[in-house]
Amino acid sequence: MSDITYVTKETLEQMQQELTRLKTKGRAEIAKAIAEAREKGDLKENAEYDAAKEAQGYHEARIAQLEATIINARIINMKDIDISRVSILSKVTILNLKNQKQMTYQLVSENEADIKSGKLSVGSPIGKALLGKKTGEVFDVNTPAGILQFKVEKIAI
């Protein structure tokens, strides 16, 4: 995972806080769960011990993922964004030319993506297709349902 991830200062701080919590409180909780399961007897037939060790593996994988993301993170300042073209952190209003539905998304990194709150990943098919477009530009997106055409209606911060 050596890709540069562009994030806001707030998102980077949230990731750092989560990493600190996972390394301290989270590891302590898992160590306690492993110790309690170990006290219950034979480890070969101890489902609690197996579950605690599996949870430890997921926990350590999340720590490694966060560390790699933080190392490769680059902070983007909102005032440095050029709104003449779509870029990361742009708020873009697009029109689906097939059904005339208008949608507004903010393009964000994969870590910040949350489609329910209108945050679209720059790595998603629509996000990739949007990057670099200007207001009024029409573009195609290849989806499982076929090729969809969109028009960039507005770019803002």
Between CA 127 and CA 107 the distance in angstroms is 7
**How many C-beta atoms surround the C-beta of residue 16 within 10 A?**
13
143 shares a domain with 110 = yes
Which helix (H) or strand (E) element contains residue 101?
Answer: none
CATH number for the domain spanning 100: value is 3.10.50.30
Q: Does the global pTM surpass 0.75?
A: no
Domain that holds residue 116: 79-156
Cβ 56 vs Cβ 34: under 8 Å: yes
60 shares a domain with 22 = yes
65 shares a domain with 108 = no
The lowest-confidence range among 3-7, 68-72, 119-123, 128-132 is: 3-7
143 shares a domain with 118 = yes
CATH number for the domain spanning 45: value is 1.10.287.180
Residue 1, pLDDT score: 40
Cβ 55 vs Cβ 30: under 8 Å: yes
85 shares a domain with 144 = yes
Between CA 51 and CA 48 the distance in angstroms is 5
User: pLDDT tens digit string along 42-55?
Assistant: 777 788 888 899 99
